[in-house]
Amino acid sequence: MLAGHMAKPKMIQTEVAVVGGGMVGLTLAVALAGAGIATVVVDAATPEARTATGYDGRASAIAHASHQALAGIGVWQGLAEYAQPIERIRVSDGDATGRASSLFLHYDHRELAPTDAGAPPLGFIVENRAIRRALLAALAAAPSASHVAPATVTALETDGAGVTLTLADGRLIRARLAVAADGRDSRLRAMAGIGVTEWAYKQTGIVCTVAHERPHRAVAHEHFLPAGPLALLPMVDDEHGHRSSVVWTERRDVAPAILGLTDEDFSAALQRRFGDSLGRLRILGGRWSYPLALHFAARVTARRLALVGDAAHAIHPIAGQGLNLGLRDVAALAEVLVDARRLGLDLGDGTALGRYERWRRFDTVTLIAVTDGLNRLFSNDIAPLRLLRDLGLAAVNELPPLKRFFMRHAMGQVGDLPRLLAGAAL
């Protein structure tokens, strides 16, 4: 190299740059690349790290509509063998002793099938590790996609023609649009100056997998306790036998003591809270814990930038809708961008992004309000409130039209659905 001359940073050209390689960011990249839109994923972690056994012990609820979206972009075939259908959901309320009320709410997918044609499951439970593997495989097979990892963005610059991302190693990415899929502490969101409203719950989410003596029969349990909801979500059986994923919401000041218990004592504490309907419970593998908080961005777009998933919003896990809310972002943004492309429009201009902003705002705010309200209503041991909510659960249980509406809502079939969620091609 001649003295006084510096090598120019390598420039990667693309149409859309997705920053963040979690499940939401990868799903968007696969959807866009499958529609022929050149997409680059910038991921802070390598694929090997994201699919390692100890990276994330959670499982996710995949609503029926989200299942249709994943099938529509060619990902579901890599997930099907790991996906446990949810055919029924049992919602019950308990007091400080763990004793369940005799009044409850029971959803059954068969109630949505007025004929013998049958009804699809209400959703599926899939381990996050399996979801990531399937998404990474689909991304690697997409000719219009590329994966830059490990890499972090240190600067974001926009102009009338596009956006330039500077990576920590000096490389540059030039795109029409950048998408922030980099989580609740999104650096891109901060770089764009988008504010966030947030508050922390005095709760911790404890996540693990348990084996149990009796089969779960495709039933998901949501048991409300004064400290917060306790969910046992059915998983596919394996060499350990019958399994369920546990999402145990506990008071933040109590959670460290529970996490510090031996496996035997932890399993016993869980058993006392859940009961014996599945027989003896036994923890499998590790435990993970997460402080629970709510946040939502002041807006989900800025100049040549769109926010999806946790970068845009994070909700309480009370209804298992966190990933589904992010996948609704993906389906809406993918449709907006594909439609703009077909019309010959600039993917990053205000017209396309304005449509995405309007489309997602009402749905997001509604679900935030519902999950926050449910958590506040059920996470207490106030006797009059306990009676009121028990009567409410029982009343809904006896009103078939209302039950069917709530079931369809849980399946993601209510509202102005993007094409992917409705089972149509993008």
Q: Which residues contact 54 (CB under 8 A, 6 or more apart)?
A: 286
Mean pLDDT of the chain: 91
Q: Would 263 be classed as within a structural domain?
A: no
Tokens of 80: 């099907």
Compute the distance between CA of residue 393 and CA of residue 91 in angstroms, rounded to an integer.
8
Amino acid at 336: V
Q: Is residue 183 predicted with pLDDT exceeding 60?
A: yes
10 Å CB burial of residue 76 (0-12, 13-18, 19+) is buried
**Res 4: pLDDT:** 44
Q: Would you say 69 and 79 are in contact if contact means Cβ atoms under 8 Å apart? A: no
Closest CA to 84 of 119, 122, 125, 120: 125
Q: Would 272 be classed as within a structural domain?
A: no
The half-sphere exposure of 406 on its side-chain side, counting CA atoms within 13 A, is 20
Give residue-wise pLDDT tens across range 327-344: 999 999 999 999 999 999
Q: Would 260 be classed as within a structural domain?
A: no
Q: Note down the domain range covering 195.
A: 11-199+294-410
Q: Would 193 be classed as within a structural domain?
A: yes
10 Å CB burial of residue 383 (0-12, 13-18, 19+) is exposed
Q: Is residue 2 predicted with pLDDT exceeding 50?
A: no
Give residue-wise pLDDT tens across range 3-51: 444 555 689 999 999 999 999 999 999 999 999 999 999 999 999 999 9
Q: Would 333 be classed as within a structural domain?
A: yes
Q: Would 156 be classed as within a structural domain?
A: yes
CA–CA–CA angle 34, 40, 41 (5° rounding): 100
Tell me the backbone φ, ψ of residue 214, rounded to 5 degrees.
-100, 150
Query: How far lies 203's CA from each of 152, 200, 268, 321, in Å?
Result: 31, 8, 21, 18
Total domains in the fold of the chain? 1
Compute the distance between CA of residue 60 and CA of residue 69 in angstroms, rounded to an integer.
15
Q: Is residue 1 predicted with pLDDT exceeding 60?
A: no
Q: Would 261 be classed as within a structural domain?
A: no
**DSSP string over 65-116:** HHHHHHHHTT-GGGTGGGPEEE-EEEEEEE-TT-PEEEEEEEEEGGGG-SST
CB atoms within 10 A of CB 242: 19
Q: Is residue 97 predicted with pLDDT exceeding 90?
A: no
Share of the chain above pLDDT 90, in %: 76
Q: Would 204 be classed as within a structural domain?
A: no
Query: How far lies 426's CA from each of 22, 35, 248, 300, in Å?
Result: 21, 7, 37, 22
pTM summary value: 0.93
CATH at 317: 3.50.50.60
Q: Identify whether 418 is preceded by a cis peptide bond (ω within 30 of 0).
A: no
**Res 397: pLDDT:** 80
